[in-house]
Structure 1
Amino acid sequence: MNTELPAPLVTGLGLRLRPWDEADLDAMVTLFDHPDFARWTPLVSPFDLDAARAYVQRSQERRESGSTLQLAVTTDGRAPLGEVLSISRLDEPVPAIELAYGIGAEHRGQALASRAVRLMTGHAYETHPGARVILRIVDENTASQRVAQATGFHLSDEEPVTREVPGRPAAVLRTWVHRPDAS
């Protein structure tokens, strides 16, 4: 049995954020095959082992290209409790790093989302000086709005962003911008 911990990319606040790997497939199905992930994220639903395999592959490709970090949220470096993403939006009129996150239903109430967002916000400022850090949240997702407020983000007056996922209604997202002095 391999007892080596996967290399974390970001650590702190009691978390070890690390890349997804093949050993996570079953845990990913448990986390992501849930109505909340189907409602609030672009993940396929149902989310099965084939979807998990494809997701791990895409996450590795995106990490290697530098476009996106998709990291398992863990406390011990092993068991995934959710995910946090850092997406490069440097081609937008105002260059940005967009963060996104989701915590498994059975792991909520431990401030995992807010801790992961705080860690990745700091990471974004360290790796992309000059870029703003944003979240994009659907108006109805009040839990994510509370995380945004708790971590120093404020709702901007920017035009909403519409994103489409095949087979689902279009998601209309509002942009929340981090205030570096507020976290």
Structure 2
Amino acid sequence: MENRLRTLPSDPVRLRGQRVLLREWDEEDIPALVEIYDDPEIDRWTPVPSLFDPDAAREYLRKAREGRAEGRRMQLAVTTDGLEPKGEVLLFQDELDDRDVELAYGIGARFRRQGLAAEAVVIATEYALRHLGARRVLLRIDAANVPSAAVAASSGFQLTADEPVERKAKGRRVLLRTWCRHS
């Protein structure tokens, strides 16, 4: 594998779909970040710490900006109006093959089951394939996370035969299955 770093753009990004607009986070979004991430389902399926209060949201935003400035990751608010965040989608270079981009996403409890996650994933996937030159876009999902697997399938991703990827989060070992979409 070639060891090159895919640098994400430093300019602000706004990506629009039919109903969803992905945009940069800002300080005014702290209350929305708290609502989105201080949630038992987000806690269950993501590495984001629970008891997500305004201080945790500010730290999360600081780390997001740091990762963006270093070209390592892009974290975008999922909105329908360009204003109120309803969730988040993250793009980052895959740790196993730097030709690939991995996505992660989460939607706040009030906004689930509206198709927002699937549309946000499609928008971010198209951006990664067309503008970042990704060979493949990947989702890594716990086998028990049925809603996320449904989002993956409805977004055109296919489950691969790859060995599960082990990650450690919040003191526990998690095995994630790989879903893939090619250009």
- Per the TM superposition, whether the score is higher than 0.5 is yes
Aligned to 1:166: 170
The reply to whether residue 100 of structure 1 matches residue 104 of structure 2 is yes
Aligned to 2:87: 82
Aligned to 2:119: 115
Three-state SS of the structure 1 residue aligned to 2:169 is coil
User: Structure 1 residue 71: deviation in Å?
Assistant: 0.7
Q: How is 1:143-182 mapped onto 2 (pairs within 5 angstroms)?
A: 143-167=147-171, 169-180=172-183
Distance 1:35 1:151, change over 3 A: same
Q: Does structure 2 retain, via aligned residues, the 8 Å contact 1:152–1:179? A: no
Aligned to 2:32: 27
CA RMSD of aligned residues (A): 1.4
Q: Does structure 2 retain, via aligned residues, the 8 Å contact 1:29–1:49? A: yes
Count, aligned residues: 172
Q: Does structure 2 retain, via aligned residues, the 8 Å contact 1:13–1:119? A: no
Between the aligned residues of both structures, percent identity stands at 44
Aligned to 1:3: none
Amino acid at match of 2:164: P
Question: Deviations 1:22-63 (Å, cap 9, x if unpaired)?
Answer: 111111111110000100000011111111000111111111
> Normalized against structure 2, the TM-score is what?
0.89
User: Structure 1 residue 94: deviation in Å?
Assistant: 6.3
Deviates more, 1:127-136 or 1:151-160: 127-136
Structure 2: gaps (5+ residues): 1-11
Question: How far, CA to CA, are the matches of 1:137 and 1:31 in structure 2?
Answer: 19
Aligned to 1:4: none
Amino acid at match of 1:177: C
User: Structure 1 residue 16: deviation in Å?
Assistant: 1.4
Q: Which runs of 4+ in 1 moved over 3 A?
A: none
Structure 1: gaps (5+ residues): 1-6
Aligned to 1:11: 16
Question: How far, CA to CA, are the matches of 1:94 and 1:42 in structure 2?
Answer: 22
The reply to whether residue 56 of structure 1 matches residue 61 of structure 2 is yes
